Structure 1
Amino acid sequence: MGTPSSTTVSVEKRETWSSSTGFILAAIGSAVGLGNIWRFPGVAYESGGGAFIVPYLVALLTAGIPILFLDYAIGHRYRAAAPLAYRRMAKRTEGLGWFQIMISFVIATYYAAVIAWSCSYFIYSFNLKWGEDTRGFFLGEHLKVGDPEISTSIVGTVALPLVLVWVAVLVVIALGVTKGVQAVNVIFIPLLFVAFAGLVLRALTLPGAADGLNAFFTPDWSALTDLNVWIAAYAQIFFSLSIAFGIMVTYASYQRRKANMTSSGLVVAFANSSFEILAGIGVFATLGFMAQQQSVAIADMKDLTGPTLSFVTFPAVINQMPGGNIFGVVFFGALIMAGFTSIISILLGVAASVQEKFGLSQRGSAILVAAACAIPSVLLFSTTSGLLALDTVDQWANNVGIVISAIVMTVLVVWVLRRSRVLARHLSTVSTFKVGRVWTVLIGFVAPVFLIIMLVQKVISLINDGYEELPQWYLNVFGWGTIVFVVVAAAILTAIPWKGRDDETFTPWPPIEEESR
């Protein structure tokens, strides 16, 4: 028997993942990115070594997984990318969805540049083209880094691979969820884990690897009394899971009606954290080898985190390794796969939002979004000031923009709209792992409190201390200007009338037990 008309579910044609495995691999592909490889090891080392695992796991359980579940609940219940999903939850919250999508747009423009660098270094690895002076090669010959300015001087060694990256992204997004995004992740994610596991095993056989692991895992328990260490743990979990900027809302919207959402989320979260720890082992085993070769302590080494770890320190290590070019090919191949699976998740959310708002075809929205991202990407991040612009935009987008998004999202859902009970019920009816009052406390109190502390501390630091000794005008343009751009663009997109799907007739899925009556 059918359900009464009062609980009739609106039927809409929407592509879905072919299976839960496809969804999980795609979500892992989004979460596991470049930051897992070059950010986590350095943050852990600087924040208490082995002791950092304690706040890291606490942050994962109290903020990372709960907010990931929140993204899943919104996307799955309201079956749309972030702007339309929030609009369906409450019309006045559409702007938050566009704020998240515009953060994704900004991140995609510079994230593609790092993938382009990885493509170049993949080629360089075959003959170790970077030579002995890896820093000079990266900053000079490869990027041709100049003064902080608004440069129009395009660097060909960056622009060409960057254009190719955007062409590849366009093709995948245009193919859609199943034939494009899922197909890439089904191939790349297993390959990525196999390749990186091989790198770690090779690193563990290097002389000095044990010294690196001791430096990485030796606990400094006094660090647990430092608030900054806990903030660093929450920041790492938060940024590495791809939460609160529209990606997981969009991914969840393509899940099937009775998909097991919370169990999938647990697999994604712990797979992401496992990869981070694996990356830490590989990176510090390799750094231990380099430290022994140079007869220095790891504590005295530079470039233990960020892009320079991958493009300066690792090439220097590869130079000294037997069979280093093979190590280099696999390492930079892994970076390409990790970066590419992340950027297609970022762009899928943007393309889906544009498609829904303006009533475009899947291919049309993919072309429009890829072109709109590629143009500023090439013009800003393949110039002689591209590295400085990238570093500055990344700092503000991640440490200010995404944190604001998460605070507003959690406060709106729990305290203003009071939708946490409805969303908890939705998750519990489709999942084996149930959520309830504890989840509401975590997303409504614990997570926003830590996020507010993080945001206030970061904003005060950026205002008082600036960033990387860059001129204030430069920080105003590429730092604070990024946040202004996101806010203004979100406001404009919200104000434009809907030309796509008519959300007035949308009905959220009722609980499964109601459908079976």
Structure 2
Amino acid sequence: MSSTTPGQSSSLMSMIANRKPLSPSPSTTLEINNDVKIMTSDDNISHLTTAPLAREFSSGFNYQTLAETSPLNQTKNSAKPLVRSHSSTNAELSYHLQQLKNLSKRKTTFSGDNQNNEDCIHLTSSNLKIICTEDGKESLIHSTIELKTTETSIELPVSWKPAIQQVTIQRESWDHKIEFLLAVIGYAVDLGNVWRFPTTVYSNGGGAFFIPYFILLIFGGLPLFYMELALGQYHRSGVFTIWKYICPLAKGIGWATVLINFMTAMFYNTIISWAVYYLVMSFNGLRTELPWKGCHHAWNTECCVAADVKEYQYLSKLANVTKGVFNTTRTINRPGSLFTTTTTTTTLAPIVRNCSRLVYSTEEYFYRRLQEVDKADGFNNLGKVKWELALSLFVVFIFVYFALWKGIKSSGKAVWITAIAPYAVLLILLVRGITLSGSSIGIKYYLKPNMELLKNFSIWNAAATQIFFSLGPGFGVLIALSSYNKFHNNCYRDALITSTINCATSILSGFVVFSTLGHMAEVSKKTIEQVIEDKGSELVFIVYPHTIALMNWSTLWAVLFFFMVITLGIDSTFGGLESIITGLCDEFPNLLGRHRSLFVLGVLVISYLGALPTCTYGGDYIVTLMNEIAVAPALLLVVFIECIAVSWFYGVNRFSFDIKAMIGTRPSLFWRVVWYVVSPLFLLTIFCAAMNNFLFGQILIKKVDLSDLPLNVRIWSNLMVFLPMLCIPGYAIYKLIVTPGKTFDERLQRAAKPEEPLLELLNSRSANGQQPPQEIVEAL
């Protein structure tokens, strides 16, 4: 930016300070066209100079650079550019007021005194307020515009009444930068890391899973993660309104995202409620022992084996491992033995048992005490709702409500605990896990890849699902959270930091799980693959509790661990529901935005009622079904269309310029190529393969093929998969129908073109006929 001399600066400031305001005239209107020229229909014309900073001021939207400049003191005889008029709706005016209030430090430039000198005007949100009367009919904007030159500065207080009928609530921002970072880390680092990642690795050949995992991270997860952070921060909008300014034709992504988040909330919060139940029952260990440690409870079977190394080894010797039958009449002399029928310290108990396999007490506790699956008949009869699980789920939603009802001001404080506490517990469990005998067996399985497995598409599909489920692109959460950022926040750095921490946490939790699996394999004389028969979502509630039961002070560690699981899950619940709430409040500011607390309550009530079937005796079947098929295909389509809309329709170069306006540097060639070519092709391939597998492949739900499940389950499964997908073409068709145009091509071009903001904040057709001072016109 060129400098000015003191004389020029003084002359310029004097000119602005002494300029007379426009004569009040109801017929005079102030217009802003797509070239960022500010003009009126009378003889007073003002221009902005050509400057990228002018783009930055315009609430985060791109405009074409001016081809000509005009001094502020242009005479009547000067040539006038054409005026393009627009009529703004109340919603658009409200939106721009909202954007203006959140300007952290936007700059525009102008020229004065018939010279090409450029001076900056800074408009700060701290000096901008919107006030309205109780009847809502009259609004008043108060602002302070500060003119800064190289030598001096001047403040010009201004007030006028624009023609608006509503006032929107100022968009919040994070109190501290660290709160946003913790919120994103807390969202990205969740149960997907300590629950889903180890389970997915275990089900897909151990170390072989890392190859597709890191490939998809580099070319799919991380680029989309970075893209969503930048989009939300630049446009400061939720998952609905943001597409209006990128590609209106793709607004169906917002509705698809809402449905995906609702379905996720219906089963994801149930898993958190399991942890709540375990946490409460852990305190039982203060009186006796952890309830999943022994086999002397009413829910245990004759095949139960306590989480005790010596006992398992002893009983394993009695089993006929060839036929898999445990049948003997020998006796055990041990205090509190698993087969005792009394609580005396020493008991001789006869053993006459027929078991196909020995079952750990931790596994029986999960299935026969927590779930009580023996009282259900699969999908045919799910049984009654368990009041303990329903109550635990209710506690989860109560906590979520009070963390969300006031927006990021409350959830931003909660993440200080929920995002940090889990790491201490994980490290403690890791130390205990690697010190167990046989832990090296599990770690070797965890790290050694089997290259033959890479030929199977299922491992690639599992890796893609894990990446997007864990990092979170496609859920709209990253857009919602980053929309509360300061404009110049370094979102690129945040993306790298968060994704690195996310992957490191997944790998760390993998070491914890597989070190324990190795120990269990050594004790039971089984292979790693045979230790846990059902490698489903419940793995974390069998392996981790087993490790804890073998530790000294096991009650303390159990409380800490399940508190960690709850905090990890709650973080993601914050994000998923915040995406729904932010998106719909932005889309319907009057109906929902003004009544956020009630709207949050309504969303949580619907989510809770939808999740109640997962609290039945057969609820684990529903959780497994939704986890396996409800998210993956639709999520892959969402991120693919999102990538196409931003990179191809909005333009990767335009998007790169937006990022440069925020952080000062343009994304490298690598990111632009990945966004434009690599990620779309990669995502399309994975999506097509996933749909082929869903339609024609074999999908096992609790060892039962999906095609063999009851008709109502298959119908529900298809609705979960296809309903979010149909939102995208459905809205596109609607948009094409309502878009004016004589031909299809004309409608398509108009429907896909980003809607430029009209910036009619200075619309002089106010209720009282007042005109905004000329200084404001020239400043903007």
**Which bracket does the TM-score occupy, shorter chain normalised?**
0.7 to 0.9
Q: Is residue 601 of structure 2 the alignment partner of residue 367 of structure 1? A: yes
Letter of the 1:456 counterpart: C
Q: Secondary structure at the match of 1:129?
A: coil
Rounded Cα–Cα distance in structure 1 between residues aligned with 2:179 and 2:280: 30
Q: Which residue of 1 aligns with 2:228?
A: 71
Asked if structure 1 preserves the Cα contact closer than 8 Å seen for 2:646 and 2:655, the reply is: no
Asked if structure 1 preserves the Cα contact closer than 8 Å seen for 2:279 and 2:563, the reply is: yes
| Residues 478 and 80 of structure 1: CA distance in aligned 2, closer, same or farther (over 3 Å) | same
Q: Secondary structure at the match of 2:658?
A: helix
| Residues 304 and 41 of structure 1: CA distance in aligned 2, closer, same or farther (over 3 Å) | farther
| CA RMSD after TM alignment | 3.0
Rounded Cα–Cα distance in structure 2 between residues aligned with 1:227 and 1:482: 22
Aligned equivalent of 1:329, options 559, 570, 573: 559
TM-score normalised by L of structure 2:
0.60
How far has the Cα of 1:234 moved from its partner?
Answer: 3.4
Q: Which residue of 2 aligns with 1:41?
A: 198
Q: For each residue in 1:7-26, what CA deviation from the matched residue of structure 2 results, as whole angstroms up to 9, or x when unmatched? A: 44341421111232211110
| Residues 197 and 93 of structure 1: CA distance in aligned 2, closer, same or farther (over 3 Å) | same
Asked if structure 2 preserves the Cα contact closer than 8 Å seen for 1:143 and 1:157, the reply is: no
| Residues 418 and 354 of structure 1: CA distance in aligned 2, closer, same or farther (over 3 Å) | closer
How far has the Cα of 1:52 moved from its partner?
Answer: 4.2
Asked if structure 2 preserves the Cα contact closer than 8 Å seen for 1:78 and 1:89, the reply is: no
Q: Which residue of 1 aligns with 2:660?
A: 428
How far has the Cα of 1:331 moved from its partner?
Answer: 2.1
| Residues 489 and 77 of structure 1: CA distance in aligned 2, closer, same or farther (over 3 Å) | same
Q: Which residue of 2 aligns with 1:119?
A: 276
Rounded Cα–Cα distance in structure 2 between residues aligned with 1:56 and 1:304: 23
Q: Which residue of 2 aligns with 1:483?
A: 721
Aligned equivalent of 2:247, options 90, 94, 99: 90
Asked if structure 1 preserves the Cα contact closer than 8 Å seen for 2:277 and 2:392, the reply is: yes
Aligned equivalent of 2:618, options 385, 399, 402: 385
Q: Which residue of 2 aligns with 1:400?
A: 633
Q: Which residue of 2 aligns with 1:138?
A: 366
How far has the Cα of 1:325 moved from its partner?
Answer: 3.1
Asked if structure 1 preserves the Cα contact closer than 8 Å seen for 2:520 and 2:531, the reply is: no
Q: Which residue of 2 aligns with 1:173?
A: 404
Q: Secondary structure at the match of 1:296?
A: coil
Q: Which residue of 2 aligns with 1:309?
A: 539
Q: Which residue of 1 aligns with 2:468?
A: 238
Q: For each residue in 1:230-257, what CA deviation from the matched residue of structure 2 results, as whole angstroms up to 9, or x when unmatched? A: 4443332222101112111111111111
Q: Is residue 419 of structure 2 the alignment partner of residue 257 of structure 1? A: no
For 1:276-295, what aligned pairs fall within 5 Å after superposition?
Answer: 276-295=506-525
Aligned equivalent of 1:445, options 669, 677, 680: 677
| Residues 316 and 433 of structure 1: CA distance in aligned 2, closer, same or farther (over 3 Å) | farther
Larger helix percent: 1
Asked if structure 1 preserves the Cα contact closer than 8 Å seen for 2:438 and 2:515, the reply is: yes
Asked if structure 1 preserves the Cα contact closer than 8 Å seen for 2:246 and 2:645, the reply is: no
How far has the Cα of 1:81 moved from its partner?
Answer: 0.9
Aligned equivalent of 2:264, options 107, 118, 122: 107
How many residues are matched?
A: 501
Rounded Cα–Cα distance in structure 2 between residues aligned with 1:237 and 1:402: 11
How far has the Cα of 1:455 moved from its partner?
Answer: 2.4
Q: Which residue of 1 aligns with 2:444?
A: 214
Q: Which has the higher mean CA deviation after the structures are superposed, 142-151 or 115-124?
A: 142-151
For 1:435-474, what aligned pairs fall within 5 Å after superposition?
Answer: 435-464=667-696, 465-468=698-701, 469=704, 470=706, 471-474=709-712
Rounded Cα–Cα distance in structure 2 between residues aligned with 1:30 and 1:240: 8
Asked if structure 2 preserves the Cα contact closer than 8 Å seen for 1:38 and 1:305, the reply is: no
Q: Which has the higher mean CA deviation after the structures are superposed, 395-404 or 476-485?
A: 476-485
Q: Which residue of 1 aligns with 2:644?
A: 411
Asked if structure 1 preserves the Cα contact closer than 8 Å seen for 2:640 and 2:680, the reply is: yes
How far has the Cα of 1:219 moved from its partner?
Answer: 3.6
Q: Matched residues, percent identical?
A: 24
Rounded Cα–Cα distance in structure 1 between residues aligned with 2:687 and 2:654: 29
Rounded Cα–Cα distance in structure 2 between residues aligned with 1:382 and 1:227: 33
Q: For each residue in 1:190-215, what CA deviation from the matched residue of structure 2 results, as whole angstroms up to 9, or x when unmatched? A: 11111211221222222222222122
Rounded Cα–Cα distance in structure 2 between residues aligned with 1:373 and 1:295: 44
| Residues 357 and 149 of structure 1: CA distance in aligned 2, closer, same or farther (over 3 Å) | farther
Q: Which has the higher mean CA deviation after the structures are superposed, 310-319 or 391-400?
A: 310-319
For 1:261-276, what aligned pairs fall within 5 Å after superposition?
Answer: 261-276=491-506
How far has the Cα of 1:348 moved from its partner?
Answer: 0.5
Larger strand percent: 2
Q: Which has the higher mean CA deviation after the structures are superposed, 137-146 or 262-271?
A: 137-146
Letter of the 1:43 counterpart: T
Asked if structure 1 preserves the Cα contact closer than 8 Å seen for 2:250 and 2:731, the reply is: no
Rounded Cα–Cα distance in structure 2 between residues aligned with 1:240 and 1:219: 22
Rounded Cα–Cα distance in structure 2 between residues aligned with 1:74 and 1:421: 14
Rounded Cα–Cα distance in structure 2 between residues aligned with 1:69 and 1:348: 19
Higher relative contact order (CA 8 A, sep 6+): 1
Letter of the 1:97 counterpart: G
| Residues 53 and 487 of structure 1: CA distance in aligned 2, closer, same or farther (over 3 Å) | closer
Q: Which has the higher mean CA deviation after the structures are superposed, 54-63 or 334-343?
A: 54-63
| Residues 227 and 307 of structure 1: CA distance in aligned 2, closer, same or farther (over 3 Å) | closer
Rounded Cα–Cα distance in structure 2 between residues aligned with 1:329 and 1:268: 27
| Residues 479 and 342 of structure 1: CA distance in aligned 2, closer, same or farther (over 3 Å) | same
